[in-house]
Structure 1
Amino acid sequence: MPRRIDHVAIIVHNLEQALTFYRDTLGITPSEIKEVPTEQVRIAFLPMGGPEGSQLELIEPTPSNASLTKFLTKRGEGLHHLCLQVDDIDSALNDLKAKGAAVLDEQPRMAAEGRAIFLHPKSSNGVLLELLEKVE
């Protein structure tokens, strides 16, 4: 079902401060920094490995995003989720539900780069997984 790792998401308190390490120290230039109102976050996309490569995604919750702010307060900065790209999110969702996976989304949601669903960490050995169908 998944065809590649799309991104590894890292939650941060302050996007600009985090970029001083990833951009200025590691030399990874963001391809885009944008606010995603539907998700109540600011995201910096840090491409790795060329056009078909994966990317790091730095996520800063906006003050109105209670769930991510709570996550950040409780766990601190670090790994938030791993995203796997799929060709057909509707088919992936139906297949996962049929196999008994605990999904957090009953319908795909609009994410920064397409349509996505999240799987509960209890289905994936403690890792929050996002499945993403990219919309070009």
Structure 2
Amino acid sequence: MAKPKRIDHVAIIVRDIEQALCFYRDTLGIEPSEVKDVPSEQVRIAFLPLGGPAGSEIELIEPTAENASLNRFLEKRGEGLHHICLEVENIEAALTEMKDQGVPVLDEQPRIAAEGRAIFIHPKGANGVLLELLEKA
């Protein structure tokens, strides 16, 4: 069984990372470990670590392209929770298991993510929540 090891991150979609950091960094005191562009995903991500080396993160994600699917998500639903990411040991095994169980997945094969390889589970299969399963690099 591809049981998740831990919550890796919670992703929050924002219109402007710098504006969002005014709250997360300046008000809550969570310093970003990195803010980086991920052109392949058409996003800019601010990584906000919590709980030390084995802790989880909040990721602020800002779409960087007008035609990006994340931009459409933002326009339709507004800022807020985008997805929850669970770390797994083996992404191929997780994908096979999800397909075998009839779970609706958005990926036919693992995609390259900011921190490894990942698949997404459609919200229809996870009680309305977009879930990412991630095998860390």
Aligned to 1:97: 99
Report the counterpart of residue 16 of structure 1 in structure 2: 18
Spell out, residue by residue over 1:8-61, the C-alpha distance to the aligned partner (whole angstroms, 9 max, x if none): 000000010000110011000000110011111000000011110000000000
Tell me whether 1:107 sits opposite 2:113 in the alignment. Answer: no
Q: Calculate the TM-score normalised by the size of structure 1.
A: 0.97
TM-score if structure 2 supplies the norm length? 0.97
Query: How far apart in 2 are the matches of 1:64 and 1:106?
Result: 25
Deviations along 1:55-99, one digit per CA (max 9) or x if unpaired, are: 000000012452111110111000000000001000000011001
Runs of 4 or more, structure 1, over 4 Å off, are none
Tell me: CA distance 1:69–1:132, structure 2 relative to 1, closer, same or farther (3 Å). Answer: same
Which residue, 37, 40, 43 being the options, matches 2:39? 37
DSSP 3-state at the match of 1:38: helix
RMSD: 0.7
Q: CA separation in 1, counterparts of 2:21 and 2:9? A: 17
**Structure 2 gap ranges (5+):** none
Contact conserved, 1:41 with 1:65, CA < 8 A, in 2? no
Q: 8 Å contact 1:12–1:72 — kept in the other structure?
A: yes
